[in-house]
Chains A and B, each alone.
Chain A
Amino acid sequence: MLHGWGGTAPSRAHVVHPGTLEELAAVVADAGPRGVLVRGAGRSYGDAAQNGGGTVLDLSAFSSVRVLDDGDVVAGAGAVLAHLVPVLLRRGRFLPVTPGTRYVTVGGAVAADVHGKNHHVDSSFGAHVRRLDLLTADGTLRRLCRDGSPAEQRLLDATLGGMGLTGAVTEVQFGTVPAPTASILVDTHRADDLDTVMALMAEGDDRHRYSVAWVDGTVAGARLGRGVVTFGDHAPEGDGDPRHRTPPPGEPRVGVPPLPVSPLHRHAVAAFNEAWFRRAPRRRIAEPTPLAPFFYPLDAVGGWNRLYGPSGFLQYQFAVPDSGAAMVRRTLEQLRALRVPAYLTVLKRFGPGRDASPLSFPMAGWTLAVDVPARDAALARALDRLDEQVLEAGGRLYLAKDSRAVPATIAAGYPQLDRFRAVRRDVDPDGVFVSDLARRLDL
């Protein structure tokens, strides 16, 4: 049984661990009527890495990592970012884009075209991919380069953000950024209301590579959306704290056991949020901070998804253009009205999206991500209403986070979906590569 990080809607599949390209090609060639799919580290929230009744490929064996002289990385699709980070830091480099957890694979980063706190400066992961090797349904391994033929580039672009539906990525070459030390110089600002949070972010963006805000969706009235804005930049040589080292890859320091019920009661969450807000300094500038807690605060707690108990949770993440900024407040208000205990609410700014990739999520403007426990029909209706408002605002939902949208919502949010389908039909006319997400959303 496989499920996403949210623990909802599992399905059963046959998991295969091919050790070589030949074995991988043989599995793809033998795919039954329910098809195949590559699963990375299983950090997508919903059903993106499940293929009920079919075959699921685990490419952990494809995890070699090489750093080239120019700083580029050539990594197997199964390589986990957590293992890449220390290798890169030793050479004074860092990932060009990193999501909020380092426990994702390179293949997964490609499939979801992940973004990070530096999207406004550095775009999404796909922008840094120079080439990738893709095993397609017909059994051929195609090397897709940035400067390849137009057909190759179309396939490359559709694969970046393509949720694993164009084929099996086996190896990726991507660029890195300089990181002279393992410290980030962090500016922290605590703001008492949402407008201040958003103003700080809009204004501070240009000056910093990394920016993110944690906002509090549990307080009522004018303080709703108060938050802590953090900006960061790699500390130059000499400015970083030499004691800061990224913890070695491996197990997180604390774990959460499977729980029969969720301890995340509304009041507990409100108390947590209050404490988190108070803990942040009102204003602190250029404080050297170790890299891991800045980028991956949640990685310190293994299996934190279990905090939501057996019924699981989902993450609602949308992007809207600047003209739709009101959606941020509206979402917090509507979830608060439902008394949804949302304790992880993250607000970010996006730079321009990559239009070449039809299913790439980011678009210039704002993105809000809220974790909510998977509950009742009232939550379903509220999120459906929010979907409509997001679409009206010209926005879209993130496929790697989705576990409940309907096909029409995705089609409206991704106007180039038909272009993606055309590429997929070309390269995989029988639909050999398929997922529960693709079936549910008609991708």
Chain B
Amino acid sequence: MSDALHRPSSVLLLGGTSDIGLATVRALASPALRRVVLAARPSPARDAAVEQLTEAGVPEVCVRDFDAADTASHAQVLDSVFAGPDVDVVVVAFGVLGEQRELEEAPDLAVELARVNYLGGVSSCLLAAQRLRRQGHGSIVVLSSVAGDRPRRSNFVYGSSKAGLDSLARGLADSLRGTGVHVLVVRPGFVRSSMTEHLDPAPLAVTPADVAAAVVDGLRRGSTVVYVPRVMRLVMTGLRHVPGPIFRRLPV
């Protein structure tokens, strides 16, 4: 049960090695936080994440083997987590970015990306929602992206997967009104992280810590959609209304 000041006592991170996900867990850490479950494929990065959170003072950090693309296995993974103490916050943070040109040349890769980002999200969000409903309380934080707001030449495959996930999450948020379960959709702009280290930062670039702070604030306010940075909301509202012929020529 999260307390009166919105401090969770347990967090499940799907995508347990994600920079943004781990920054979010650290931002949610408080004396009230007792348990974090990192769901990810076994890897040195996962071990490092466990170590990092343990050093940050989380009393209990455990892991579950989780493959976002293997949707058939999701129910079992979530069941094993929910068999323990109540889960207050589920963070859906897995995702791959891909290289647009490569994806266009090898549509198989694009399908694989969509499988992780979209289908993996559909499966885990819906399964988490069912279990949180049974608990009567809890939040799902879904890492979306401004890339889902309007498809762009430079990353529309990734963008379309996030658009699908974003739509699903907002619909889910509405469907869960009155059940005690809250969904927070987070739309960061360019985030400087290991996923984007090979790219030049776009304007208004943020850090995983910025995204994490926005998540904490969004949970406290009970928001459904937050942009990071906040001014992105305005920027994207503008961009959505730019006529196609002009939009195509913008360096975005």
Chain A interface (Cβ within 8 Å of chain B)?
1, 6, 8-13, 34, 46-47, 51-54, 311-312, 314, 374-377, 379-380, 384, 403-404, 406-407, 436-437, 439-440
Contact = CB atoms under 8 A, between A and B. Distances in A.
Contacts of B171: none
* B5, B30, B178 pick with most chain A CB within 10 angstroms: B5
B9 A380 contact: no
A34 B135 contact: yes
Given A10-B137, A440-B9, A314 B32 contact: no
Contacts of B3: 8-9, 46, 403-404, 440
A436 B1 contact: yes
Given A1-B178, A375-B5, A406-B32, 13 more contacts: A6-B4, A8-B3, A9-B3, A12-B136, A12-B179, A34-B136, A52-B1, A52-B137, A53-B135, A53-B137, A314-B5, A404-B5, A407-B34
B4 A46 contact: yes
A52 B9 contact: no
A411 to B, nearest CB: 13
B235 to A, nearest CB: 27
Contacts of A13: 136
Interface of B: 1-7, 9, 30-32, 34, 85-86, 133-137, 178-180, 216, 220
B2 A9 contact: yes
Given A12-B136, A12-B179, A436-B137, A374 B5 contact: yes
Given A404-B32, A406-B31, A374 B180 contact: no
A128 B133 CA distance: 41
B7 to A, nearest CB: 6
A8 B86 CA distance: 18
A46 B179 CA distance: 19
Contacts of A437: 1
Nearest to A409: B31
A376 B133 CA distance: 27
B50 to A, nearest CB: 22
Contact of B180 (A52, A376, A407): A52
A12 B4 contact: no
A9 B4 CA distance: 5
12 contacts: A1-B178, A11-B1, A12-B137, A12-B179, A54-B136, A311-B220, A314-B4, A377-B5, A380-B7, A380-B30, A407-B34, A439-B1
Nearest to B30: A380
Contacts of A436: 1, 137
B5 A380 contact: yes
A404 B135 contact: no
Given A52-B86, A406-B32, A11 B5 contact: no
